[in-house]
Amino acid sequence: MSNIFDLKQPSAFTLAAFESLDSTNDELRRRAQKGAEHNTVVCALEQTKGRGRRGRTWVSQPGNLFCSILQKPNVSLTEASKASFVSALAIHDAIKEAVDGFDCDVECKWPNDVLVDGYKVCGILLESQTIPQSNELDWLIIGIGINLAHAPADTPYPCGYINAYREKAMLVPDMLEILLKHFQTWFERWETLGFTAIRNAWLERAKGVGKEIIVNLGTEQLHGTFESLDAEGALVLRTKEGQRLITAGDVFFNA
């Protein structure tokens, strides 16, 4: 797999590739704190301390894609959180390209997952830093994991992997090239058209809109209809008691 070091990434990106890292997010944070440039990408064939949302461990078996991308958008800290939807669109379209011609459905799952035939195949972890003595964004790291060759077991939501849908295995360098191409496209759209365009595109690709879902908030479970996203990216849930806006939680779909 040494050909990852020969990756021909889009010219807008600067790639640092490793055989093994503790975490691509951790390595990119170290670089960001030393002044790394916008669009710096860190990729590793293996992570020894991979992390997911809410402090969960991200199982990082060799053969899957692990990368982190540094962005320095001119947006507020609140607006920067919406990058998870931008990233999900890039991942969705990259996976759609990777499984083109094969019989499977690729959909987005709120807040920032991508599903193939209902199985989770990716994860996104955002980390940011503000400019000292201000609330302005300094930099944003988007950590992305895509299951190419393996899927972890015993997860809260059933997981799958891309190569289960392909005759020829997709390798890490090829998936990264496809991902960066779509990443560049969607982040440029966000910067030029704003979140409304991202929201509309995400809803077109989303699973469960207009259907009954379950939202696990940790302290309670809500049942209702997934109506839409609001202007800030919150899930709009219609329950028997009325409308609820969900800003954090785990979504499950009724069979």
> 188 and 130, same structural domain?
yes
- Domain of 177 in residue numbering reads as 2-205
Residue 87 is part of a domain; what is its CATH number? Answer: 3.30.930.10
CA angle 40, 44, 47 (to 5 degrees): 125
> 80 and 190, same structural domain?
yes
> 94 and 63, same structural domain?
yes
157 compared with 201, residue with greater pLDDT: 201
Phi and psi at residue 15, in whole multiples of 5°?
A: -105, 135
> 143 and 249, same structural domain?
no
pTM of the prediction?
0.90
Q: Count up the domains in the chain and report the number.
A: 2
Query: Any residues with CB less than 8 A from the CB of 220 and at least 6 apart, and which?
Result: none
> 219 and 160, same structural domain?
no
> 138 and 40, same structural domain?
yes
> 222 and 201, same structural domain?
no
Share of the chain above pLDDT 90, in %: 71
> 122 and 71, same structural domain?
yes
Q: Are 214 and 100 contacting, i.e. CB atoms less than 8 angstroms apart?
A: no
pLDDT digits (tens, 9 = 90+) for 208-248: 999 999 999 988 999 999 999 999 999 999 999 999 999 99
> 58 and 156, same structural domain?
yes
CA angle 99, 100, 106 (to 5 degrees): 60
- Structure tokens given for 185: 């496209």
> 136 and 84, same structural domain?
yes
